[in-house]
Amino acid sequence: MHNITPYSSPHYFIYLLLLLLPIIIGLWFGKRFKVYDFFATVVILITAFFGGNMSQGISLIAYVIFEMITVFGYLSYRKKHNSFWIFSLFVFLAIIPLIFVKLDPLIKNPTISLFAFMGISYLTFKSVEIIMEMRDGVIKEIKPFEFMRFLLFFPTITSGPIDRFRRFQKDVLNVPSREEYVELLHSGVNKLMQGLLYKFIIGYFFGTLLLPKVTILAMSYRNQAPLGLSWYVLAYMYVYSMYLFFDFAGYSLFAVAISNFMGVKTPMNFNAPFKSKNIKDFWNRWHMTLSFWFRDFIYMRLTFTIIKHKWIKNRVAIANVSYFALFLIMGIWHGETWYYIVYGIFHALAMITNDAWLRFKRKHRKQIPSNKFTQAFAIFLTFNIVCFSFLIFSGFLDKLWFS
């Protein structure tokens, strides 16, 4: 038996909906069955992580125990003290397993990533969020069971969306009224259908049918154009961008839909990102739970600290330094390859340029026209900049130039 990646095939949904049926019936009659929820979680975890040699499953268990010790260690410390350095130490501890996993390809020593399992990043984001909010004093109590339920909430376990603990608690501690639940089921079914269309039809078309073809074409023309950049590379850029969006947006819709069936309003990940009118707008619409996590736990905290300690006076410089920190960390998080790091730097520069333009526009509001044409041009330009960044992200240039 192999590991079954959640939502990876249409068949998966038939078994999943059977498993969910008792939960749905329970919520319909205003009940949450804690024991059954636990049972369903165990079933999904076993199918996803304990197929084959069980190595992922064992890693998952080791990881959860490690994070439990870290989070509850910090909680008991925080009740009496509040040192910045101890707090930093615990955040560092919480990300150590992820660091090992991410460094693995770099040092080419596969034995070190004891912790590797699918979805480790997303679980780590949740753990770090809890430690940070404990420091801020907004999470004062959390039971080991609640921590596990939040961390291992199965609809989102492998790839998010990244929920927040206090928001999640509000949903699971509450049973929706019949009207609310009908509403949730309705929105869940809609999202499920949209997700099936996105992932298994449009995503399949771009990713499985078109992408291999343009890859072969771009590779075969690479000796006939400067830097190998034939028109087929441009085709690859758009095809890959479409695939990336529809595949991941489709997956995210499934995760939100299944959460809805369980009476949980997991936040959405995408909001028409290709309609963004500038790059800042784009990050408010693309992989939102990740970008908001980075905004709240890296960008805002960093700017807050810089302003409070008056390390840098100039506000533009503060914003720019923080953009660099945010997007470099995001790049490093994606993986230790040159193209992920360049992707991060590219977006930091795009944000800085965008801010400079917005400042300029604010000063010269009267001279700069704003009409349907300029707005359409803004969307067109943003779309192309974003697609270019995805070309970097895809790693295709690495293949084109260095393989």
Measured from the CB atom, is 134 or 210 closer to other proteins? Answer: 134
Region binding other proteins by CB under 8 A among candidate stretches 132-140, 189-197, 207-215, 371-379: 132-140
Measured from the CB atom, is 235 or 302 closer to other proteins? Answer: 302
Among 37, 67, 133, 247, binds other proteins (CB under 8 A): 133
Q: How far apart are CA 76 and CA 48, in angstroms?
A: 33
Among 110, 137, 226, 369, binds other proteins (CB under 8 A): 137
The tokens for 158 are 């492998």
DSSP result, 170-198:
HHHTS---HHHHHHHHHHHHHHHHHHHII
Report the candidate in 171, 194, 170, 150 with the shortest Cα–Cα distance to residue 261.
171
SS3 assignment, position 167: helix
- The site string for other proteins over 236-275 (x = CB under 8 A, - otherwise) reads ----------------------------------------
Does 121 sit near other proteins (CB under 8 A)? no
Region binding other proteins by CB under 8 A among candidate stretches 4-12, 65-73, 127-135, 391-399: 127-135
Measured from the CB atom, is 37 or 133 closer to other proteins? Answer: 133
Please count the residues of this chain forming the interface with other proteins, following the rule CB under 8 A: 21
Rounded least distance, CB 326 to other proteins, Å: 10
Amino acid identity of 37? D
Measured from the CB atom, is 58 or 302 closer to other proteins? Answer: 302
> CA torsion sign, 289 to 291 to 294 to 300?
negative
Region binding other proteins by CB under 8 A among candidate stretches 131-139, 168-176, 336-344, 373-381: 131-139
SS3 assignment, position 24: helix
Q: How far apart are CA 201 and CA 281, in angstroms?
A: 28
- 111 CB-near residues (< 8 Å, 6+ apart): none
Do residues 7 and 48 make contact, with C-beta atoms less than 8 angstroms apart? Answer: no
Give the number of other CB atoms < 10 A from CB of residue 20. 18
Looking only at residues 337 through 376 of this chain, which bind other proteins when binding is defined by CB under 8 A?
362
Whole-angstrom CA distances from 93 to 85, 97, 124, 157, 160 are 12, 8, 11, 21, 22
Does 37 sit near other proteins (CB under 8 A)? no
Measured from the CB atom, is 133 or 247 closer to other proteins? Answer: 133
Do residues 239 and 211 make contact, with C-beta atoms less than 8 angstroms apart? Answer: yes
Amino acid identity of 64? V
Does 125 sit near other proteins (CB under 8 A)? no
Active site residue 334: yes
Bond preceding residue 6 cis, omega within 30 of 0: no
Does 158 sit near other proteins (CB under 8 A)? no
Taking CA 88 as the corner, what is the angle to CA 86 and CA 91, rounded to the nearest 5 degrees? 110
Measured from the CB atom, is 80 or 362 closer to other proteins? Answer: 362
Whole-angstrom CA distances from 21 to 14, 17, 71, 227 are 11, 6, 34, 55
Among 280, 285, 334, 399, binds other proteins (CB under 8 A): 280
Q: Which of 11, 287, 334, 364 is catalytic?
A: 334
Among 136, 186, 189, 193, binds other proteins (CB under 8 A): 136
Rounded least distance, CB 81 to other proteins, Å: 16
Taking CA 61 as the corner, what is the angle to CA 7 and CA 58, rounded to the nearest 5 degrees? 80
Rounded least distance, CB 34 to other proteins, Å: 28
DSSP result, 332-372:
HHH-SSHHHHHHHHHHHHHHHHHHHHHHHHHHTTTTS--SH
Rounded least distance, CB 351 to other proteins, Å: 10
Rounded least distance, CB 304 to other proteins, Å: 5
Looking only at residues 284 through 343 of this chain, which bind other proteins when binding is defined by CB under 8 A?
295-296, 299-301, 303-304, 307-308, 315, 318-319, 322
List the catalytic residues: 334
Report the interface residues with other proteins, using CB under 8 A.
132-133, 135-138, 280, 295-296, 299-301, 303-304, 307-308, 315, 318-319, 322, 362
